[in-house]
Amino acid sequence: MVALLAAALVSGCSTGADQVDVNNGGEFRFVEATPSGEVIPPVERAAAPEFSGTLLGGGGESFSSVELVGDVAVLNFWGSWCPPCRVETPEFQEVYADVRVEGVQFLGINVKETSEQFAVAFVDRFGIEFPSVYDPRGEVALAFRDYPATAIPSTIVLDRQGRVAAVYTGAVSEENLRAVLDRVLAEEV
């Protein structure tokens, strides 16, 4: 467990002391990250927590996780300040462009930005079409306290029932994401 947490901190842009106190008086609990290309067996999956937030650059438009139910969903915790996100996010856009018609939704969760302008510039620069929730205080990350959403980037794949099918800390390759989505999409409803 300690090695996993250390690997997450090395491979991602982890949160620091200057960021929101995601512990909120408690202690974060982590599940083990899913190995590359692997999916949590359906009988072992837990329901993802419900969350809501304001869409990035959406003029105050709100988003609720209930909008994801019925589709496979990719939740990606990112920040414009995170070097691995600059590699991963454009690859996610390529996958999104290919699979959005197959019942797959992507949702970015932008965390710990000092200004929404930085996040909007990042999205514009990389031509990202999927929405992102602007979460500067880490409130959505707090909802996922049982998963390693404090290591940035982190990615959580949900099945059609809103259960956690895969959890990744650090950057996820385009090939790995496609393999996981193919497996989850192939599951019977």
| Mean pLDDT for all residues in the chain | 80
Q: Is the pLDDT of residue 118 over 80?
A: yes
Question: Domain containing 164 — which CATH number?
Answer: 3.40.30.10
Q: Which residue segment(s) compose the domain that 47 sits in?
A: 2-186
CA distance 1 to 20: 23
Domain count, the chain: 1
CA distance 70 to 87: 29
Per-residue pLDDT of 119-140, as tens digits, reads 999 999 999 999 999 998 888 8
- Stretch 36-59: mean pLDDT: 87
The pTM (predicted TM-score) of the whole model is 0.81
CB-based burial, 57-84: b 16+ in 10 Å, e otherwise: beeeeebebeebeebbbbbbbbbbbbeb
Question: In the chain, what percentage of residues exceed pLDDT 90?
Answer: 53
Which two three-digit tokens encode residue 19? 């960021």
Residue in the block written with tokens 């018609």 = 101
Return the amino acid letter for 103: G
Which two three-digit tokens encode residue 176? 């790995």
Q: Is the pLDDT of residue 159 over 80?
A: yes
Q: What is the pLDDT of residue 13?
A: 52
Q: What is the pLDDT of residue 58?
A: 73
- Stretch 115-120: mean pLDDT: 92
Per-residue pLDDT of 74-96, as tens digits, reads 999 999 988 989 999 999 999 99
